[in-house]
Amino acid sequence: MSALDSLLLRGYDVPWIVLIEQDDLGNAAAIADRAAELNISVFALPKLPPQPTPLHDWYMAQDEIFRSLLSAISTYHQRRVDRLHAISSQAQDILWWPFTQHKQNRGVLVIDSAYGDSFATFDAASTSLEPMVDACASWWTQGLGHGNPKAALAVATTAARYGHVMFPENAHEPAVQVAAKLLDTVGRHWASRVFFSDDGSTAVEVALKMAFRTFITSSSYNSTTDSNKQLVVLAQTNCYHGDTLGTMHVAEPSVFNLSQHPWYKPKAIFAAPPTVSLSAVSGKQGVTVTWPEVDPAFALHLESLDDLFDPTSRDATAAAAAYEAYVTDLLDHHVPPHAVVGALVLEPVLIGAGGMLFVDPLFQRTMVLICRRRGIPVVFDEVFSGLWRLGAPSGRDLLHVHPDISCFAKLLTGGLVPLSATLAADHVFQAFHSHAKADALLHGHSFTANPVGCAAALTALDMYDSLGQDDATPRVYWDPATVAAVGQSTRVVRAFQLGTVVVFELASEGKGYEATGAQDFIRHLRTDGIYARALGNVIYIMCSPLTTTDVCRQVLQKVAKVVLG
């Protein structure tokens, strides 16, 4: 039965057990109840004849059992095919998918299972299972690869040991171990506390509460006497921090919020960041930084990503001075008189859902340094970008500045179960630390620090250790030369690779999330076994931090072929 449990823990279907009885031990009877509980049929064969007796007569004597087994296999397979056929229509009848206009839906991809970097998808025409590379990392969550046996075993063991247990004023080993691991890795040298919640949007909601309280207790702002002045956030244009109401307020008016919630009201000052793309200057491959929203003539060419992420060579440049002047002017002259900036919230280096915009790290570093001088708490929203998504442990390693608060989710559990964590520096924790209950951080949910999620997170963080620590420049997964070559096509207006992400923005009449220029390319990719998604006319491809460069090379070759036509 331990072998059976091992198979089930690894996601295998086990419809039957076939065993050969030995010495009248009655094994079939011994496992009958457990097998029935799992709806597993048991086929018991008699003891084999002693060697060297030929087995022909033994096989012939068991002909009826073997025929019954063959019939059971055939019946099971047909029922399974029937179920897979039914899933598509049933799903369209009863499911309400997120970020989906159901009237535009062209069909349902039925996923039977997943392992490593790929799905096993059901082809209704051939009634077969076909592999399809999960090139969007299942909405940016995959860190260990699908069906990772180490993670599955950790989760199963923890579920059996704890289930879920109450968390406030209590502790269990998985939560303590994960918190300690986070503080020793992405929180090293700056964070002292870990607050668990359930998803990325909630993690940012928590961060906003932390940041505003910290600002109020450490500045001259008084929530009573200054009630006519609203606390707002300094954020970036095109940012996206989640779908809960507080995080929606931190984003510009867009398709994500204007028509979604009548209570939405932007409560932020938005800085337009300069963005990066791969380029070829004088025949040499490099990167180009442009700033069309602020200075259409601004164009900065650097020889490599190493140069882009090197603060020692860039802090005293003209670009740094321009960024300093812009952010300073924004804070000094463009904050409404009824508002006070109480937090900086940014997605380090890569703005995700807002269009996969690669922001010049020097610009964000400058924003952080200016806000720090002004006593404005700094929040890194690393829900998407953190934990090696961009080829480094965290945004801190790429911007070379510490936040006061940082949010992690998605890759935190390796993509297995939901869990998020908001890390905070000690001075943030002290802003809530008093003898009054009302001063505490009164936020939480029923499944806070659920042991199963913590076990998955601990496994993921341990496996990420193989990637190293504190990379000064991002790890390379996608071949820069191939990406740059595709970027030279007239079909492409912007291309780059950064860590596990590669992006191609297609030339299109439409712009933004509602643009449809990439949909034909997405359909071609799926026909070629690549499950990709688009943000408007932006095609992005994503692997897990543990994906091999060989897999990335094969995927990128197929993507390049489709994009180049």
For the chain, domains (ranges, CATH) are 1-84 (no CATH), 91-130 (no CATH), 149-268+339-464 (3.40.640.10), 480-564 (3.90.1150.10)
CB 492 within 8 A of CB 504: yes
Per-residue pLDDT of 237-293, as tens digits, reads 999 999 999 999 999 998 888 888 899 999 999 999 999 998 765 556 789 999 999
Per-residue pLDDT of 302-332, as tens digits, reads 999 999 999 889 999 999 999 999 999 999 9
CB 357 within 8 A of CB 350: yes
Strands 357-358 and 41-45, by their bridges, are unpaired
Which H or E run includes 556?
A: helix 549-564
- 72 closest CA partner among 138, 15, 1, 33: 15
Round to whole Å and give the CA distance between 24 and 47. Answer: 8
Task: Give mean pLDDT, residues 425-442.
Answer: 96
CB 180 within 8 A of CB 173: no
Round to whole Å and give the CA distance between 361 and 363. Answer: 5
Compute how many other C-beta atoms are within 10 angstroms of the C-beta atom of residue 455: 30
Round to whole Å and give the CA distance between 391 and 389. Answer: 6
Q: Compute the mean pLDDT over every residue in the chain, rounded to the nearest whole number.
A: 93
Round to whole Å and give the CA distance between 198 and 227. Answer: 32
> What pLDDT score does 469 carry?
63
Q: Which residue has the higher pLDDT, 565 or 368?
A: 368
CB 86 within 8 A of CB 80: no
Round to whole Å and give the CA distance between 172 and 307. Answer: 44
Per-residue pLDDT of 469-485, as tens digits, reads 655 678 999 999 999 99
Per-residue pLDDT of 38-71, as tens digits, reads 999 999 999 999 999 999 999 999 999 999 999 9
Per-residue pLDDT of 517-553, as tens digits, reads 788 999 999 999 999 999 999 999 999 999 999 999 9
Predicted TM-score (pTM) of this structure? 0.94
The SS3 assignment for 291 reads strand
Which amino acid is present at 346?
Answer: L
Per-residue pLDDT of 171-225, as tens digits, reads 999 999 999 999 999 999 999 999 999 999 999 999 999 999 999 999 888 777 7
183 φ, ψ to 5°? -65, -30
